[in-house]
Amino acid sequence: MMQLFRKDRMWTPRPLKSRYDVVIIGAGVHGLATAYYLTKLGITDIAVLDKSYIGAGASARSTAILRANYITAEGIPFFRESLKLYETLSQDLDFNLMFDQMGRLDLGHTDSAVYGLRVRAEFNQMLGVDSSIIGPDEIKDLVPAINLRTGQTLPIMAALYHPPAGTIRHDAVVWAYGRGADHGGAQIHPFTEVTGFLRDGNRVTGVQTPVGPIHAGTVLSATAGWSSTIAAMLGIKIPIVTHPLQAMVTEPLKPFIDKTLSSANLHVYVYQTDRGEVVIGGGVDPYPSYSHRSTLHQMQDLAAHVLEMLPCLREVKVMRQWTGLCDMSPDYAPIMGPLDGIEGFYMTAGWGTWGFKAGPIGGKSMAEFIVTGKTPDLIKHFGLDRFRTGRLVNERAAAPAAAIH
Ligand SMILES: Cc1cc2nc3c(=O)[nH]c(=O)nc-3n(C[C@H](O)[C@H](O)[C@H](O)COP(=O)(O)OP(=O)(O)OC[C@H]3O[C@@H](n4cnc5c(N)ncnc54)[C@H](O)[C@@H]3O)c2cc1C
């Protein structure tokens, strides 16, 4: 029977030590999952440091859509393995994560969009991911409330249907990984900002914080939207640009859709939570910024676009709107591993608007990397060196600018 542990401490405050085997910067899903899987591999002398509260970054601001229907031979197996880990994560972490495997429709409104979805369906099937093309009648059967836009601009011509996709309670995932890591021996230190690095030549030997230096055998940055600022502390410029991403949620309604819907042409994605709220999101703000301010302009855009797909929402009130930061990489794929010429330091970044779903496999892979010193096969194409060699992953086609989750 699942335990909720409402009275128990999620993690135990402990005095900060002056040295750890591993220091992880950033207590989002990636930092905490890495800490958790490290403890499973026998490394327990770990500190996870965050400049804010646990989950303050993009992880607890995510719309928490999980899927594996990407387009590249590198991306599909990686996200497929993450989705598999999510399927049993509530049991593994003994915490109710409210995982709902509701399925997803990526809608195609033009011949070229449908062609792209067909290519994805073929690649997905070849690589063991359940997705296929369905037509308007089947779409209407699955989502009776949808406006197929017959005779209008951008009619819904087809969809990529991906039954194993789903959603999960994002902040619960963060808390549960934090609790799991803590129970395995890792220490979690909120409100402990990393302001610089300790170095011995090209080797990183620890981090600098306002409460003093902390020495470490290995340092991992899992700071997503702030990754460039961390790399800059080491004097390195990485090809990541930070953009805000906004989302909003309506008042609760009786259940009326049980799929996540995404339309690159209509610049919007939408689903209904178990609480009845309708979550609505779109593309990143078009300018780089570290601002967490939500804008009326984006709320109006999202509202207009979702009504083109679900006109039944026209009288519904928006309850909340929020913003998080996304570390966009040029090829829409992650950057995992060492930085050129720096020893003792790794980075897991480039998670953009798609990184929440990658938390479990991203953390597991980085933990294996740190313990063995060998790059796991699943992430061998995601090194920073690909921007030098030109072997880009090019996941953008499965993450079209407007509906990239
Ligand atoms: C609105 C929105 C919706 C999204 N929807 C989805 C979705 O549906 N599906 C999906 O897969 N992805 C989605 N994403 C993307 C996803 O949320 C992120 O890619 C993912 O959560 C990144 O996780 P992380 O652990 O790498 O970073 P974060 O969760 O951002 O954590 C980084 C942490 O680093 C800390 N930090 C930064 N600098 C320092 C420092 N100097 N010292 C100490 N700590 C520091 C921050 O305080 C922060 O807590 C969405 C993002 C947003 C903003």
pLDDT tens-place string over residues 282-332: 999 999 999 999 999 999 999 999 999 999 999 999 999 999 999 999 999
Q: Is the pLDDT assigned to residue 5 strictly greater than 80?
A: no
Q: Whose CA is nearest to atom 3 of ligand 1?
A: 62
Regarding the domain with residue range 100-164+242-328, which homologous superfamily does it belong to in the CATH classification? D-Amino Acid Oxidase, subunit A, domain 2 (3.30.9.10)
Contact at 8 Å (CB) between 219 and 226?
no
Mean pLDDT of 176-198: 97
- Residue 174 gets the label, from left (phi > 0), alpha (psi -120 to 50) or beta, of alpha
DSSP annotation of 11:
S
Mean pLDDT of 381-386: 96
Q: For tokens 């011949």, name the residue.
A: 111
* Euclidean distance between CA atoms 210 and 40, whole angstroms: 30
Mean pLDDT of 48-69: 97
Task: Please name the amino acid found at residue 283.
Answer: G
- Select from 296, 261, 255 the least CA-distant residue to 281: 261
**Which ligand 1 atom lies nearest to the CA of residue 57?**
30
What CATH number labels 19-63+170-239+330-398?
3.50.50.60
**Which ligand 1 atom lies nearest to the CA of residue 269?**
8
* Euclidean distance between CA atoms 131 and 103, whole angstroms: 10
Q: How sure is the predictor about 396, in pLDDT bands with cuts at 50, 70 and 90?
A: confident
Contacts of 137 (CB under 8 A, 6+ apart): none
Q: Which of 83, 226, 268, when mutated, tests ligand 1's pocket best, judged by the most ligand atoms within 8 Å of its CB?
A: 226
The structure's pTM equals 0.97
Provide the residue ranges of all domains of the chain, joining segments of one domain with +.
19-63+170-239+330-398, 100-164+242-328
Contacts of 287 (CB under 8 A, 6+ apart): 243
Q: How sure is the predictor about 9, in pLDDT bands with cuts at 50, 70 and 90?
A: confident
Tokens of 286: 């078009």
* Euclidean distance between CA atoms 127 and 264, whole angstroms: 24
* Euclidean distance between CA atoms 300 and 266, whole angstroms: 13
Task: Find the 57 Cα to ligand 1 centroid distance in Å.
Answer: 4
Half-sphere exposure for 301 (CA within 13 Å, toward CB): 17
pLDDT of residue 401: 43
Contact at 8 Å (CB) between 332 and 395?
yes
**Which ligand 1 atom lies nearest to the CA of residue 52?**
47
Q: Is the pLDDT assigned to residue 405 strictly greater than 50?
A: no
